[in-house]
Structures are given as structure tokens and as C-alpha cells.
Amino acid sequence: MSGRLFVIGTGPGNPDQMTPEAHAAVSKATVFFGYGPYLDRLNLRADQTRQASDNREELDRAGAALRAASEGAIVCVVSGGDPGVFAMAAAVCEAVDDGPDAWRDVDLVILPGITAMLAVAARVGAPLGHDFCAISLSDNLKPWATIEKRLASAAEGGFVIALYNPISKARPWQLGKAFELLREKLPGSTPVIFGRAAGRPDERISVQPLNVADAAMADMATCVIIGSAETKIIEREGKADLIYTPRFSGGAAGD
Amino acid sequence: MSGRLFVIGTGPGNPDQMTPEAHAAVSKATVFFGYGPYLDRLNLRADQTRQASDNREELDRAGAALRAASEGAIVCVVSGGDPGVFAMAAAVCEAVDDGPDAWRDVDLVILPGITAMLAVAARVGAPLGHDFCAISLSDNLKPWATIEKRLASAAEGGFVIALYNPISKARPWQLGKAFELLREKLPGSTPVIFGRAAGRPDERISVQPLNVADAAMADMATCVIIGSAETKIIEREGKADLIYTPRFSGGAAGD
């Protein structure tokens, strides 16, 4: 007998940014798998059990969750943000792809969430108001050369760029290198938004122009948004600047 | 005296996918501006007034909302999906940029929502599980040459591509042309996901390989997601295929 596997996203961490359907899934499930700090965002009941694991053990966690669901449990795999963006939904699919047939029978229900770039963008205006891309800067799962190529394609194509996983103790230089590469393609005045913990009490949002953007402003919990050549800044007296990318475009960068 | 201007997203249309903070903003506001079908998603009270306008009048609507807020009203501008993705947040910023100084004093609160590509992705698996981009296919606001350039950059860079505004009565050929261009860059087997009204009663999700993908499958309410060369399909007996892009990558398309 097969149970059900919910894969949910908490959003960036403010419970008011988690959807009602995700809250309802949490209420139905009895076993929870996820990175500890994400599980901490849920107010689990005494009859609900949590299996916290390190953030680098996603595939093992996905397999354990599928096993529990295939044995009949109502299971919830918890991601921060949206589960489909650099998060657990892909890991669960990978585990299904490589796992026993029984895992394909599991009733898999993936529920979307507010991903970091949307929450950060909303705090500063509308930097994602026109064409944009999302790139994970982690070279644990792909060659650095691929990342360099994608950064170049994105800048040449005129996309606003959201960087996920910009920096960690094991990956200290990649964000600085990305800024260096982008300085060759984009105006020095292009706004770079460092959005940490958007919507949470420890939120910290700051903006620097690309020519002086400092990678040390970012940590693991930061989403970095780099404007296109068309992104604009509106100064407001007594209020934070608004940053937005107009809906209309005269041409791609470099045209 | 200046009021407040909320800019919210309803998500794709299922009220259970609208965040609690957006629901709270709706409850506080007294005047609502937006495209009629989006306003219809809210259960407004008798003391709340609605100013519905056509979807092509975004800048006028933004100005009217800012004027009402600058005169002291608690105003809510309503987008579908996320207000920051090809929607009203950028239009409001544009209006602030070009408008009277008083509009800069308005307390502007932008609240993120579930944008269509996240909701569609969740329904089929995790096609956005690795680097991706979002492109509006409307050439009302940018030259078609810019769109062609961005499609090429995205495909060459190995990005999964989410297309917003894929087709309309006034723009009947652009999606078919985009498929043609992408067929030159991507394998014919690349999955193309047509996600219409995700999460709503009239939801319709279908998948075709790129080599036979038919633009007639899309309408104005459809978000089209085109995989990368690395996107995979998992067949499941008695269940819809799962489509996902692995978290790891061997290299960009064409490498």
C-alpha cells in the first residue's frame, strides 16, 4: 500500500509567505524530511516526527522520504523557498528515476512556494519586471566553466540575473569571480541587490553598483540579483531607492 | 496626507496558492485596481470598491492607483501570479519614476506571489530544477529581434526556458516561430510543457516533444516551459509522466 509524498516550499521563512495549500499539507503529514532550519519553520505537533538532515544530503533524504511513503506513510519533504527551484523536487524526481518501481507508484504532490528571488525583488521594487534568469552559483553539481558560459549568455542576452547559492565556506571565490566576468559585459552602474532572509526578522537588503559590488556582502542565505543594462533606480526622500526593470525594452545589451 | 499602496499577486488563481500576507493586504485595502478577471478572484466586501481595467492599460492603472494612494486611500493593485514578473509592480515603478513627487512619498508595499512557471513546474515534476530563464514573448513592448536573440542566448547557455504571454489574438505567430528557432538549438525530444490555469478547476497541462510542439496548444492563460538538453522524462504506470531537470549538469548545451 502506497502513501503520499508532499514536497512543499516554506517560502523565504516568513510564515505569512507560505501558501495555505502548503500549510494544509503540513497539517496532513505525519513524517517530515528536510534541512533542520527549514523544519524549524513549521510548528509541528507532538504526533508528527521530523527527520532532519544536512543540506548536502538531498538525494539520500529524497530516497528515505520515498521509502516511507511507499510503505504507506503521509510524508512531507520540506524545502525553503519553492521546492522546484534548486531544491528538493528535483532530488525527489532523481530518486524516483533511479529507485525501485514501487517509488513510481507513490502519490507525489509538489506544491509551489515563494522562491527567494521573488521575495527579494518585491522588497526593492521590480528588478525582475522584464526577462530574467536564475543561476545556481554552486559548482558542486556542475563545472565552473558551465557557470561562466551561462553568466556570459545571460549578460549578452540582456537578462536580469538572479544568483542562488552565491557563496559558502567551501565556495568562497565564485561570487567575486562572477562579478568580475559581468563587469566586462554590463555597465558599472548596474545595480546589484543582496537580499538576505527577505521577509524575516533578520532581513538585510543592500544594493551596490556592479563596479564596486563586494562578494563579502553575501552569505549562504543571500539571493543576489544583478540588473540588466536597462534596470533603473528611483531615489525617494526618506525612503529606500526603488529598483526596477521596465516592461519595455529598446534592445538587448550591446545592441 | 499619503496613504498606502499594496501591489499583490493572486498566484495562478487557486485561492489556496495566494499567500496569507496578500490575503491580509486585501482585507485592509478599500480601493482595488486591476484586470477584471484578477479582481474576480478576490471576495471583496460591499465597502471595498473595484476599478477594473483592460489588461493593456497597465500604466494608466498604475497612475490612477498612485493618485488614490497619494490622496490618502489604502489601495491595492492586483496582479495574477507574482506582481514582479511581467506584471504590475514594474508598471507602478514606471509611473512613480515619471510621475509627480507626491507619488514617491506613497508607502509602497509589494507582496510576492506564486508566479505561473512555479505552479506549472510543480504540476509536472521539477523542470526548473536547474538554471532557467523567463522570457515574455510579447513583442508589444520590445522588438521581436530582441526576443529572438534572447531565445538563442538561453538555448545556447543551456537554460530551461519559461515563456510568458506566449500567444494572443494580436500575436498569433510568435510562439510557433520561437519553437522553430529552438528546434535549431535543442534536441527534438526536448519536452515542451503547456501549462494552462495551473491549480484552477479549468487546469490543462500537456506535454509534447519540441520537434512536434504545436503553438495552437497555448492560449493567453498558458505558461510554456521548454526543457534544456538535460531535462528528463520518467514514465509511470497509471500516472502522468514526471518531467525534471537534474540538479547536476555535465555541461551546457552543445558542449
How confident is the model over B7-20, as pLDDT tens digits?
A: 999 999 999 999 99
- Read off the pLDDT of each residue in B204-233 and give the average, rounded to a whole number: 97
Closest chain B C-alpha to A32 CA, distance in angstroms:
19
Residue A54, pLDDT score: 81
- Read off the pLDDT of each residue in B51-61 and give the average, rounded to a whole number: 88
* CA–centroid distance for B171 within its chain: 17
Residues of A in contact with B15 (CB under 8 A): 20
Average model confidence (pLDDT) across chain B:
95
Give the neighbor-by-neighbor strand order of the sheet with B204-209. Answer: A204-209, A191-196, A222-226, A160-164, A132-136, B132-136, B160-164, B222-226, B191-196, B204-209
Question: Cell match 514573448: residue?
Answer: B137
For residue A242, the chain B residue with the least C-alpha distance is B93
Distances (CA, A) of B215 to A54, A132, A208: 43, 23, 42
Distances (CA, A) of B117 to A125, A228, B135, B222, B240: 20, 21, 11, 10, 18
Residues of A in contact with B245 (CB under 8 A): 90
Tens place of pLDDT for every residue, chain A, 255 residues? 678 999 999 999 999 999 999 999 999 999 999 999 999 999 999 999 999 988 778 999 999 999 999 999 999 999 999 999 999 999 999 999 999 999 999 999 999 999 999 999 999 999 999 999 999 999 888 999 999 999 999 999 999 999 999 999 999 999 999 999 999 999 999 999 999 999 899 999 999 999 999 999 999 999 999 999 999 999 999 999 999 999 988 643 333
Residue A82, pLDDT score: 98
Residue B105 burial (CB count, 10 A): 17
Q: Which residues 6+ apart lie within 8 Å of A45 measured at CB?
A: none
Residue A56, pLDDT score: 72
Chain-chain contact of B129 with A93 (C-beta, under 8 angstroms)? yes
Chain-chain contact of A20 with B20 (C-beta, under 8 angstroms)? yes
Q: Give dist(CA B79, CA B5) in Å, integer.
A: 13
Chain-chain contact of B90 with A129 (C-beta, under 8 angstroms)? yes
Interface of B with A in 196-235 (CB under 8 A): 232, 234
- For chains A and B, what is the number of CB pairs under 8 angstroms? 262
Give the neighbor-by-neighbor strand order of the sheet with A232-236. Answer: A125-126, A239-244, A232-236
Q: Does A91 touch chain B (CB under 8 A)?
A: yes
Classified as helix, coil or strand, B68 is helix
Rg value, chain A, Cα: 20
Question: Cell match 498569433: residue?
Answer: B172
β-strand B160-164 against B222-226: which pairing, if any?
A: antiparallel
* A148 contacts A181 by C-beta, under 8 angstroms: yes
From the list A90, A157, A242, the residue facing B149 with the nearest CB is: A157
Low-confidence winner among B29-43, B49-63, B110-124 (lowest mean pLDDT): B49-63
Comparing B251 with A166, the larger pLDDT belongs to: A166
Residue B215, pLDDT score: 98
Mutate to test the interface with A, among B4, B96, B133 (most CBs of A within 10 A): B133
Comparing B250 with A190, the larger pLDDT belongs to: A190
Interface of B with A in 115-144 (CB under 8 A): 115, 118-119, 121-123, 125-136, 141-143
Closest CA to A231 of A213, A243, A218: A243
* B106 contacts B4 by C-beta, under 8 angstroms: yes
Domains of chain A: 4-110 (3.40.1010.10), 116-244 (3.30.950.10)
β-strand A49-53 against A31-35: which pairing, if any?
A: parallel
Q: Give dist(CA B205, CA B122) in Å, integer.
A: 11
Q: Does B104 touch chain A (CB under 8 A)?
A: yes
Assign 3-state DSSP to chain A and report helix, strand, coil percentages, each to 5.
Answer: 35, 25, 40
Residue A108, pLDDT score: 98
Closest chain B C-alpha to A143 CA, distance in angstroms:
7
Residue B1, pLDDT score: 62
Q: What is the pLDDT of residues B117-160, one digit of tens each?
A: 999 999 999 999 999 999 999 988 899 999 999 999 999 999 99
Residue A214, pLDDT score: 98
